[in-house]
Amino acid sequence: MKIALIGYGKMGQAIDAIATAKGHEIILRVDVGSKHLLEKEHLGQADVAIEFTTPETAYHNILKCFDANVPVVSGTTGWLDKLPEVKALCLEKNQAFIHATNFSIGVNIFFELNKKLAALMAGQPQYNIKMEEIHHTHKKDAPSGTAITLAEQVLAAVPRKTGWVNEESNQPEALPIISKRIDPAPGTHTVTYTSAIDDISITHTAHSREGFAAGAVVAAEWLKGKTGVFTMRDVLNLG
């Protein structure tokens, strides 16, 4: 494939290395100083775009891809208030789009485990629930997009919890997410159910960015030639 990389920070560079090793061609590397490459004449030469930028720029970058008729895989978090609008525009313009808070294959399997455990614990009010996420100090948003996805899955399954908060909380209806920023830490997410008798925890620990980058390349390979709005559950055939 011919791939446009929109955002060339550490994640973009990791994606570059993996995609190139798999035989794909990176035809555009768009960073802060090369935003002119987002114009249709340049971007339109790509088979697919992979977008990892900032909450402030992601929305406009994705629309540029739609305008250039280029399928786009986006992993940027912190801008998801506009995600419903982007999904609607994708369908309206007959484009192709995948957004994930985390492209790691392991994390997406972890999401399925989280939903299953939450459903099992919904009828066990003696257990309180809390979450913790640890990332490197350069991460721009807190809690992480992955943590928010995990929290929303718990909230959907457990009626006694009505919302998450990004702090410790003794409110019984609150789901606390504790965010820690420690170097070097690619990402650790833990969901814990605590009772007076025992604790049950599930944890995903990333050892490097390679899992996230490899998953994004797999998503791009899968998305090429398709139209519509998809998720990593579609890519990995998780049902």
Catalytic sites, residue numbers: 135, 139
Q: What is the CA radius of gyration of the chain?
A: 19
Tell me the residue ranges of DSSP E strands in 117-162: 128-135
CA nearest to 190, candidates 110, 115, 119, 112: 110
Distance CA 150, CA 85 (A): 22
Please check whether residue 18 is in contact with residue 5, taking contact to mean a CB–CB distance below 8 angstroms: no
Q: Which residues fall within 8 angstroms of residue 84, CB to CB, at 6 or more apart?
A: none
Q: How far is CA 179 from the centre of its chain?
A: 17
